[in-house]
Amino acid sequence: MSAAPLIRHLGLAPYEPTWRAMQRFTDERGPSTADEIWMLEHPPVFTLGLNASREHVLSPGDIPVVQIDRGGQVTYHGPGQLVVYPLIDLRRRQVGVRQMVVALENAVIAYAAGLGVTATGSREAPGVYVGGAKLASIGLRIRRGASYHGLSLNVALDLEPFQRINVCGHRGLAVTRLVDLGLALDVDAVARGLTPHLLRQFGSWPGVGDPGYSAINTDLQAVNSR
């Protein structure tokens, strides 16, 4: 049986070193390595999926564009957005990538419902939507049977950079935030509120044991020096 993941709150962390740290964690983990969920914010950055087309980056301006190894097209990260990276051994937990995507969607949907917001997922374009506008994006990479990259949930970030891209490869796709839905929350509060919903989704999988979890505040330097 696998215990619940360790939750790490990393604060505001630069994108590329975080990505490399996720790769390193995945490459170095063994059969008994505990799963982790990293919760953080990034400075402004556009990220392109492994097979994404640069034609969807319309006018990046001074915001860097980084081609990475997740699925999906282009998205934006910036302060005021909660980013969740589930570093989960899917093989050990006996689940596939589709189950992982649905678990992330359902966690956000359940969290939003508790706040009085009706949100939905999509089989055609993974993510979470409110009234047709995208509230959360999902993009994963599976390597050595384990996941990294993950979920971004718009809390109160500046939406202007989304106008510089075709969001997730879809021309004219609207984007929304929790603050636009009447929810004046900060990223830390949303991270705390979303955590039990994530663990409840993961706890429904086979091979998962103790539903309790540990959460720590740390930073990327501490992750890299383990």
Phi-psi region of 80 (alpha: psi -120 to 50; beta: other; left: phi over 0): left
> Bridge partners of 175?
134
pLDDT at residue 38 is higher than 80: yes
The larger pLDDT score, comparing residue 167 to residue 95, is at 95
Q: What is the CA radius of gyration of the chain?
A: 16
* Candidates 7, 151, 168, 181; catalytic one: 168
**pTM score, whole prediction:** 0.92
- What is the set of domains in the chain, with CATH numbers? 6-224 (3.30.930.10)
The pLDDT value recorded for residue 127 is: 94
User: How far from the centroid of its chain's Cα atoms is residue 216's Cα?
Assistant: 18
pLDDT at residue 1 is higher than 60: no
Q: Which residues contact 176 (CB under 8 A, 6 or more apart)?
A: 130, 131, 133, 134, 135, 154
pLDDT at residue 63 is higher than 50: yes
> Is 168 designated active site?
yes
* Closest C-alpha to 75, from 45, 32, 98: 45
What Cα–Cα distance (Å) separates residue 55 from each residue in 103, 130, 140, 161, 166? 31, 26, 21, 16, 9
Ranges 12-26, 126-140, 182-196, 199-213: which has the least confidence? 199-213
pLDDT at residue 118 is higher than 50: yes
